């Protein structure tokens, strides 16, 4: 087993050879050297591309790898981040449709030091990500929606869902957690916002709180639920340069189970302004549902999907609150708050809170 590294300076030829041996027959003697390129520091991780030089050219060996490790000097509240993504690539990804998931050479988490390593195939020459916050074209948006649907249709009411994610909670557990959120995080957010949160929007949040137990009854059936990515914005998809290549979904740091529409509402309602959303929203939802039907999900109508989508939009009202409490930049959560409130109004979600 490879040793986990704390910084890119600890990468050696022997370490890379062990990484590559998961997929190829290779020894350290066959590697001439390597260079670390495109080193980025993200919120909780450092990422880089490692270009590898071999003593003899072999067509099947990768020219580069993409590596993601824990960033040094993380604040205490962010330590441990990355553990779930390691679990995903070790336990969940092998069961998913492989063409849609990055191949992972190495995924390890060190519980003692709370650090992680992930080493992936590098697709920087064959795929691209739309520049944030510019949304992808409709064609690419549809590719992303269908990619998600293909993965989620496999996990739809899957018997192993509790084993690979977590044991299903009781209603009491949900209520206790929600009340704690309302009394602490939400109240702090409302106090912070002051008159920047209108009385109308405060009333909508109050309606949510009053109807919370009814809203979660749908989830508590534990029917028509699936694996959800929970951060499924369009910039977590790698779009192929060549149309014949498959799209890839990345960044499984907070995956869970739930309504598939939680991901769809996050992708569309949370991130798109009304003009674009109204143009493409239902077309994309229909495309998603068509993939479900194609993959044998026959007990979930398009009307069921739309109703769940509205439930998920209501649920997303509190996502900006969570982001604010996690000290995520206001450039992100402020726009999320505006867009999700507009989606709530456009979809007439208030009907579900009356």
What is the pLDDT at residue 57?
A: 78
Q: Of 104, 121, 138, which residue is a domain's last?
A: 121
Q: Are residues 12 and 91 in the same domain?
A: yes
What is the pLDDT at residue 334?
A: 98
Provide the 10 A C-beta neighbour count for residue 1.
6
CATH number of the CATH domain containing 263? 3.90.1200.10
Q: Which residues pair with 34 in a beta bridge?
A: 52
Q: Are residues 170 and 295 in the same domain?
A: yes
What is the pLDDT at residue 28?
A: 94
Q: Are residues 96 and 181 in the same domain?
A: no
Q: Of 96, 121, 146, which residue is a domain's last?
A: 121
Judge contact between 227 and 92, C-beta under 8 A. Answer: yes
What is the pLDDT at residue 167?
A: 81
Percent of the chain that is helix, strand, coil (3-state, to 5) = 50, 15, 35
Q: Are residues 145 and 41 in the same domain?
A: no
Residue 47 lies in a domain: yes
What is the pLDDT at residue 51?
A: 97
Residue 35 lies in a domain: yes
The domain containing residue 196 runs over which residues? 128-353
Q: Are residues 318 and 186 in the same domain?
A: yes
Residue 283 lies in a domain: yes
Residue 335 lies in a domain: yes
Report the domain count for the chain: 2
Q: Are residues 55 and 81 in the same domain?
A: yes
Q: Helices (DSSP H) in the chain: which residue ranges?
A: 13-20, 83-87, 138-155, 161-164, 171-181, 187-193, 199-210, 212-219, 260-267, 274-294, 302-316, 319-325, 330-346
User: Which parts of the chain sit beneath pLDDT 70?
Assistant: 1
Q: Are residues 185 and 54 in the same domain?
A: no
Q: Are residues 220 and 269 in the same domain?
A: yes
Q: Is 61 helix (H, G, I), strand (E, B) or coil?
A: coil
Q: Are residues 110 and 160 in the same domain?
A: no
Q: Of 58, 91, 121, which residue is a domain's last?
A: 121
Q: Please give the C-alpha separations between residue 41 and each of 3, 77, 104, in angstroms, as whole numbers.
A: 22, 18, 20
Residue 3 lies in a domain: no
Helix/strand/coil (H/E/C) assignment for every residue in 159-192 = CCHHHHCCCCCCHHHHHHHHHHHHHHHHHHHHHH
- Prediction pTM value: 0.94
For 192-208, what is each residue's pLDDT tens digit? Answer: 999 999 999 999 999 99
Q: Are residues 212 and 238 in the same domain?
A: yes
How many angstroms separate the CA atoms of 175 and 172, rounded? 5
């Amino acid at each position: 087993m490879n040793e986990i590294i704390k910084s890119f300076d600890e990468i050696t030829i022997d370490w890379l050879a062990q990484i590559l041996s998961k997929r190829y027959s290779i020894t350290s003697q066959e590697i001439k050297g390597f260079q670390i390129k495109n080193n980025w520091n993200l919120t909780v991780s450092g990422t880089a591309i490692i270009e590898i030089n071999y003593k003899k050219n072999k067509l099947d060996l990768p020219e580069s790898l993409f590596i993601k490790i824990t960033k040094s000097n993380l604040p205490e509240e962010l330590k441990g981040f990355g553990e779930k993504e390691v679990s995903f690539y070790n336990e969940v990804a092998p069961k998913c449709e492989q063409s849609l998931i990055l191949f992972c050479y190495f995924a390890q988490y060190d519980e003692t030091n709370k650090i992680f390593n992930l080493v992936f195939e590098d697709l920087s020459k064959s795929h691209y990500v739309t520049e944030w916050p510019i949304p992808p074209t409709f064609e690419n948006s549809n590719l992303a929606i269908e990619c998600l649907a293909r993965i989620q249709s496999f996990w739809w009411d899957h018997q192993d869902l509790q084993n690979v994610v977590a044991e299903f909670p009781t209603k009491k557990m949900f209520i206790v957690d929600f009340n704690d959120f309302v009394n602490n995080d939400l109240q702090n957010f409302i106090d912070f916002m002051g008159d920047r949160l209108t009385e109308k929007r405060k009333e909508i949040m109050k309606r949510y709180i009053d109807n919370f137990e009814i809203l979660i009854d749908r989830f508590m059936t534990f029917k028509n639920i699936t694996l959800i990515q929970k951060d499924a914005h369009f910039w977590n998809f790698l779009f192929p340069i060549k149309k014949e290549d498959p799209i890839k979904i990345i960044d499984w740091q907070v995956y869970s189970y739930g309504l598939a529409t939680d991901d769809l509402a996050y992708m569309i309602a949370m991130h798109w302004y009304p003009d674009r959303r109204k143009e493409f929203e239902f077309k994309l939802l229909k495309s998603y549902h068509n993939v479900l039907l194609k993959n044998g999900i026959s007990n979930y109508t398009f009307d069921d999907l739309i109703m769940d989508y509205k439930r998920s939009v209501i649920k997303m009202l509190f996502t900006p609150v969570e982001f604010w409490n996690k000290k995520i930049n206001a450039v992100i959560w402020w726009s999320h708050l505006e867009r999700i409130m507009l989606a709530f109004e456009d979809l007439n979600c208030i009907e579900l809170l009356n």
